[in-house]
Chain A
Amino acid sequence: MMRIVKGNEAAAIAAKLAKPDVVAAYPITPSTDFPEKIAEYVANGELPHTQFIPVESEHSAMSACIGASAAGARACTATSSQGLELMHEMLFIASGMRLPIVLYNANRALSAPINIWCDHQDSISARDTGWIQFYGENNQEALDLMLMSFRIAEDPRVLLPAMTCIDAFICTHTFEPVDIPSQEEVDAFLPPYKPTHVKLDPDEPMTLGPFGVPEYYQEMRYAQHLAMKNAEKVIDEVFVDFERRFGRKYSKVSPYMIEDAEIILITLGSVSGTTKEFIDKMRKGGKKIGMVKLTVLRPFPSKELIPLIKNARVVATLERNISLGYGGAIYADLAGILINEEKRPLLIDFILGLGGRDITFNDLEEIVKACEKLIEGERIERPVWIGVKKELV
């Protein structure tokens, strides 16, 4: 059924269709609609088996999800920015205990200065927490990726938590047509969660979260790494099954016009739409530009990405984040996977669109110009900041 909904509601509908046992959340702009909607569904009797816990902080939200998941419940939450940071230490507990909690994150800038608008710094800063990370481009992807993340996270070969990241306001508060699957279709796609590895049950007692001494800790981290490697395969399988059932195709990396591209732009989230339109315009002017959108950031899609980009002259990352004192986070990931390739492109990172600043065609033109200079052999100091009013600093 087609409905016109906000990104937040699309994600909440996905969570509702997944029929979680527990949703524990603390409202934070710009993801507030999510807990509001869940509370509404529960109050209306639309989720008769879901317990909604209005906790007092995000740290408690994740803690309650951890407790619920450890008791065998399907647990889900939503947050953004400072909220994700307050959860940070608990994110590691969730992944270390192999609890497949699903989180919806509205990508928002971090304080200070306080800013509620779109920026990827929050989830980028959580990329080493052992969570699977999806980035959606639009509201349909918010719904689809949320739904798929339950199945991927709960797969016995994976058992890792997963977050779906959606751009603040650009998607969370924008109304778009979204195809909403029926409950029957979702029930067939997503079986109930029935864990055996971790389940608090008086009839079959087990100790959870014990001390991990030096003799065992490294093995447990290795097991998490293997689970991430397994997730690579499971994500592909679930994407294929999802397309078969719902007709929408997903892949970890989505190339656009890259066959002959000299310059390839790497994108995350909503800017992918702008970039595709920009490429269409530039192609009319004869410029060989392409794009690769990353839908999955962890596990990092190295295998899929390398063959797509290694033959370009320049690969440029569009970064709505900055690892201060270094540069773009995606740049670092890309550099790491390309360095041992015999044939590899030049790489450069562009910092732009921070704190909700729009990314416009003019910005993208500036990026292309810088890439052309690189091709001509000019040295450019990286990272390149786009649209900064340097006279103010």
Chain B
Amino acid sequence: MKIEPGGAIKEPGSSIAYKTGGWRTFKPVIDAEKCISCWICVGFCPDAAIEKTEKGKPPIIDYDYCKGCGICANECPKNAIEMIFEEK
């Protein structure tokens, strides 16, 4: 997306273009074996970066926007989410 002189934003919804995944230091990774599809992590994610799937399958984390805050891992009742140090 081109930056206008002065940084004016002329199209609404531009935050989608800003991929905050680059902020991440630790990456949440779900263990499909342990996941019970309770969707607690989906509700707690402050960036709405975790999406429900179907019962019996783990949710999908959108790493374009996940900032790696770790709330999902903290809230997971089955400790099915591990925060892995991400080297870039």
Contacts and interface: CB of A to CB of B under 8 A. Distances in A.
Interface stretch (A94-102, A173-181, A354-362): A94-102
A234 to B, nearest CB: 14
Given A215-B18, A215-B22, A210 B6 contact: no
A198 B8 contact: yes
Nearest to B20: A213
Name the prevailing secondary structure of the A interface residues: loop
A326 interface: no
A208 B18 CA distance: 17
Contact of B8 (A208, A213, A215, A223): A208
B3 interface: yes
Interface string B1-20: 00111111110101000100
A97 B22 CA distance: 26
Contact of A197 (B8, B18, B22): B8
B6 A96 contact: yes
Nearest to B11: A206
Interface in A265-318: none
Given A213-B18, A215-B22, A99 B6 contact: yes
Given A213-B18, A215-B22, A197 B4 contact: yes
Contacts of B3: 216, 219-220, 223
Contact of B7 (A205, A212, A215, A227): A212
A220 B10 CA distance: 16
B6 A98 contact: yes
B7 A216 contact: yes
Contact of A206 (B5, B9, B18, B22): B9
Contact of B10 (A206, A209, A213, A223): A206
B83 to A, nearest CB: 23
A300 B36 CA distance: 66
Contacts of A208: 6-8
A44 interface: no
Contacts of A213: 18
A5 interface: no
Contacts of B18: 213, 215
A159 interface: yes
A207 interface: yes
A216 B8 CA distance: 12
A365 B67 CA distance: 66
Contacts of B22: 215
Contacts of A210: 7, 9
A198 B9 contact: no
Interface string A75-110: 000000000000000000000111100000000000
21 contacts: A96-B7, A97-B6, A97-B7, A159-B6, A197-B8, A198-B5, A198-B6, A205-B12, A206-B8, A206-B10, A207-B8, A207-B9, A208-B8, A210-B9, A213-B18, A215-B18, A216-B7, A219-B3, A220-B7, A223-B3, A227-B5
Given A197-B6, A220-B3, 15 more contacts: A96-B6, A98-B5, A98-B6, A99-B6, A197-B5, A204-B10, A205-B12, A207-B14, A208-B7, A209-B7, A210-B7, A210-B9, A215-B22, A216-B7, A227-B5
The 6 closest A-B CB pairs, nearest first, are A98-B6, A207-B9, A98-B5, A97-B6, A197-B5, A198-B6
Interface of B: 3-10, 12, 14, 18, 22
